[in-house]
Amino acid sequence: MGPRAAGESGHELALVDNAIDLELDLRCYRLSAIKKAAYRFADRFTAVLGSPAQDRIAISLRFKSTVTEVAAREATRMFFQELLDQELREQIAAETDPIRTLILAHAFSNLDLIKREP
């Protein structure tokens, strides 16, 4: 496997025993992002995560026995997209969570809701 995550170019993906095995770079995707992306795809495959070693983590996408290779590859491709999205979400959350807390505190500190006059 190269330095990049296996499968990102698509053609390395192989469906073996109804599973596609990948290795992800934790510098690209933090663990929480990987877990959340896997959760979202639970209807298509069950992701079994290995334990992280250095900057890498093994992940096995286990499909139902009825899956076709084409469908499994497509799901894996979508999974990579989702990983990117999920990683971005984690970044945004890290950046904006403090301000959300601040605004919420501000919003509910005094409950004199501005009301429309009847």
Partner 1 sequence: MTGLHARFRDRTAFAPRADYRLLPFRFIRLDDQRYVVTSDVGEHVVVSRDQLIAFARHELPVTGALYRELKAKHLVFDDDSRAALDLLAVKYRTRVAPVANLTGLHIFVVTLRCDHSCHYCQVSRQTEDKTRFDMARDHADKALALVFESPNPAIKIEFQGGEPLLNFGLVKHVVQEAERRNAVQRRDLQFVIASNLTHLDDEILNFAREHDIYFSTSLDGPEDLHNANRPLRGGNSYRAAVDGIARARAALGHEFVSALMTTTPASLPRVEDIIDEYVRLGFTSIFLRSLSPYGFAIRTRLIRGYDIADWLGFYQRGLAHILAVNRRGVQLREELTAIALQKMFAPLGSSYVDLQSPAGIAIGALVYNYNGKIYGSDEGRMLAEMGDDSFCLGSLDDRTFASVMTDDALQQILEDSLPESAPMCADCGFLPWCGADPTFHRATQNDIVGHKAFSAFCAKQMAVLRHLVTLLEDDPDARRVLMSWV
Partner 2 sequence: MLLKLSGRGLRALGEVSSRPFIGRISTDVAQRGPNEIWLARGGAGVPDGFRAYLLAGPRPVMPPRDSYALGPEFSYLSDGDVIRIEPDRGAVHAIYRRNSRTNSLLVTERCNNYCVMCSQPPKDRDDSWIIDDLLQAIPLMSPDTGEIGITGGEPSLLGPRLIELVRCLGQCLPATAVHILSNGRGFATGDLAKALAQLHHPDLMLGIPLYADVPEHHDYVVQARGAFDETIRGILNLKRHGVRVELRFVMHAETYEGLPAFARFVARNLLFVDHVALMGLELMGFARTNLDALWIDPLDYQRELREAVETLHRARLRVSIYNTPLCVLTPDLHPFARASISDWKNAYMDECDGCALRTQCGGFFASSTLRRSRGIARVRLG
> Rule CB under 8 A: is residue 31 a binding residue for partner 1?
no
Q: Which is nearer to partner 1, 53 or 96 (CB)?
A: 96
> Rule CB under 8 A: is residue 8 a binding residue for partner 1?
no
Q: Which is nearer to partner 2, 11 or 116 (CB)?
A: 116
Centroid of chain to Cα 79: 7
Helix (H, G, I), strand (E, B) or coil at 117: coil
Q: Which is nearer to partner 2, 11 or 115 (CB)?
A: 115
Q: Distance between CA atoms of 87 and 62, rounded to whole angstroms?
A: 22
- Biggest CA-to-CA distance, the chain: 68
The DSSP code sequence of 30-77 is: -HHHHHHHHHHTTTTEEEEE---BTTEEEEEEEEPTT--HHHHHHHHH
Candidate list 8, 18, 30, 40; residue touching partner 1; CB under 8 A:
40
Candidate list 9, 10, 31, 39; residue touching partner 1; CB under 8 A:
39
Contact 40, 82 (CB under 8 A): yes
In angstroms, what is the minimal distance from the CB of 104 to partner 2? 17
Interacting residue ranges for partner 1, rule: CB under 8 A? 36, 39-43, 81, 85-86, 88-89, 91-93, 95-97, 99-100, 102-104, 106-108, 111, 113-115
